[in-house]
């Protein structure tokens, strides 16, 4: 059986655990290196990346997670999780740490105060059916991606037209929005498929 961990030091952990459980995998909270060792893949939730960063250091999880990422473990990050997976972060705290892995530049809290939170219907490569109803909450903005990064989704129309909101690089997946909050399981299902492919 596939075991997918949800990084559980901070953020909307329960929502991700519930979404994964509905995708027919075993979902488990992960806080410590021993727990990390027993999962095939990891989800990093939305939350607050500065707080997550502090807890990552307190719990000694920076190097263990970086090492698993280097070893090819599939990881999916939503919102703050996307920030944690970025190789380059703008407007982070000076002492903030990140796992990295996806060759992209993201800017924290970049949609401006008046649009702190917004929703948009977006098309997602690899996801069939209706557009995905994406919820953004003080989301990071992807400013650029490297050659190895596949852009899965962009906002279409409005002020943020063209903004990249979902990316994939090998076994790493990230969205600026929160599919765990809307009950649409298609992003989690896509990730589970990536995990199954990596396990084969
Ligand atoms: N603004 C948050 C951060 O910098 C991310 C917000 C979220 O995950 N909803 O971590």
pLDDT digits (tens, 9 = 90+) for 8-66: 999 999 999 999 999 999 999 999 999 999 999 999 999 999 999 999 999 999 999 99
Pocket around ligand 1 at a 6 A CB cut-off: 46-49, 79-80, 83, 108-109, 137-138
How many other C-beta atoms are found inside a 10 Å radius of the C-beta of residue 6? Answer: 27
pLDDT-derived band at 4, boundaries 50, 70, 90? very high
How many other C-beta atoms are found inside a 10 Å radius of the C-beta of residue 37? Answer: 11
Q: Is the pLDDT of residue 115 over 90?
A: no
Residue with tokens 């901070």: 10
Residue 110 contacts residue 140 (beta carbons within 8 Å) = yes
How many other C-beta atoms are found inside a 10 Å radius of the C-beta of residue 159? Answer: 10
Instruction: State mean pLDDT over 130-155.
Output: 97
Instruction: State mean pLDDT over 75-82.
Output: 98
The ipTM is 0.95
pTM here is 0.97
Q: Is the pLDDT of residue 119 over 80?
A: yes
Instruction: State mean pLDDT over 178-198.
Output: 97
Binding site for L-glutamine: residue ranges?
A: 47-49, 108, 137-138
Q: How far is the CA of 48 from the centre of ligand 1 (A)?
A: 4
Give the tokens for residue 46: 């939305």
| Average pLDDT of every residue of the chain | 96
Distances (CA, A) of 87 to 44, 47, 62, 107, 155: 15, 19, 14, 11, 22
From the alpha carbon of 108, which atom of ligand 1 is closest? Answer: 4
Domain 3-199 has CATH 3.40.50.880: yes
């Amino acid at each position: 059986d596939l075991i997918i961990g949800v990084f559980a030091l901070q953020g909307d952990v329960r929502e991700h655990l519930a979404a994964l459980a509905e995708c027919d995998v075993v979902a488990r909270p992960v806080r410590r290196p021993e727990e990390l060792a027993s999962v095939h893949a990891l989800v990093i939730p939305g939350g607050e990346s500065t707080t997550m960063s502090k807890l990552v250091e307190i719990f000694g999880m920076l190097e263990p997670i970086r090492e698993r990422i280097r070893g090819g473990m599939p990881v999916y990050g939503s919102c703050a999780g996307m920030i944690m997976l970025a190789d380059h972060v703008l407007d982070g705290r000076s002492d903030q740490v990140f796992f990295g892995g996806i060759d992209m530049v993201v800017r924290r809290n970049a949609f401006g105060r008046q649009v702190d939170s917004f929703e948009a219907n977006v098309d997602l490569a690899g996801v069939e059916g209706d557009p995905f109803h994406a919820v953004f909450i003080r989301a990071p903005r992807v400013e650029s991606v490297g050659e190895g990064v596949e852009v899965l989704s962009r906002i279409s129309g409005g002020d943020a037209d063209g903004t990249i909101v979902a990316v994939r690089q090998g076994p790493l997946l990230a969205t600026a929005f929160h599919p765990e909050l809307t009950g649409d399981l298609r992003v989690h299902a896509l990730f589970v498929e990536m995990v199954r492919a990596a396990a084969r």
